[in-house]
Amino acid sequence: RRAAKQRPDCRAVRGGHHLGHLGVDEDQAARALDADPRSAARTLTDAVLTSGFAMQSLGGSRPAASAEHTIAHYWEMTGTVGNPRWDLHGVLVGAASRIVLGAYRRLFGMLPTFQPDPASRLAAYDRQPPWERTVEEGMRPFLPKIREEMAMRRFDRGILADRLARFAGRREEILAMARPLLDELSEAVRQMEGIGFPFALAELGVPEAAAMTAVRNVGLLRHRYSAFDLADELGLPQDA
């Protein structure tokens, strides 16, 4: 955000993170490929350029890639996708987005009334074994990459205490930011379902166990903060 403010070429990016800001009717665009392929191509190009400008302004892929990309990369690295027709990165990211959406909807549905207990959470942190001791068997082939990612992570008891305090003071701000984004993603998923996007794990040929392994280990696979990290810091149980 700071970079976008400093760079004049990024003014359009700061408030324009979805197609609605580009004057595009998303539902019409999703169905325009056969009827008006030029319009569909124009919409896609606008979206790709906006995403690219956002990444350029921040010097990384963070505006366009988070937990859903990490999950998709895991499926690709493990050869999990059993249906070759859908073993495409964009398709897998789309399918993972619906999984992430469900998890985030549940999390942000809990947060308005959830009362974190900083003392208990910090005590749990003190008892927590090093991550190396708790790595799942399915993740062990990726230990070199996990070590590389975790080496970049700056997290300790003091940082956790600070984040718990910040959540208490900025809960409403966090919720106000998250709700419209979740609504937007929900609408995108609805539109894609309407045109037959292969969201179902069975259609992709991805076993549920493999899918959930990726979800549980998002924080290990990539040093990139997501709402999964927020849930962990607040002390929410993993099944929540």
User: What's 128's DSSP letter?
Assistant: P
Q: What is the three-state SS of 31-84?
A: CHHHHCHHHHHHHHHHHHHHHHHHHHHHCCCCCCCCHHHHHHHHHHHCCCCCCH
pTM above 0.85, yes or no: no
Question: Can you tell me the distance from the alpha carbon of 139 to that of 74, in angstroms, rounded to the nearest whole number?
Answer: 10
pLDDT digits (tens, 9 = 90+) for 68-97: 999 999 999 999 999 999 999 999 999 999
Predicted local confidence at residue 142, as pLDDT: 93
pLDDT digits (tens, 9 = 90+) for 174-193: 999 999 999 999 999 998 99
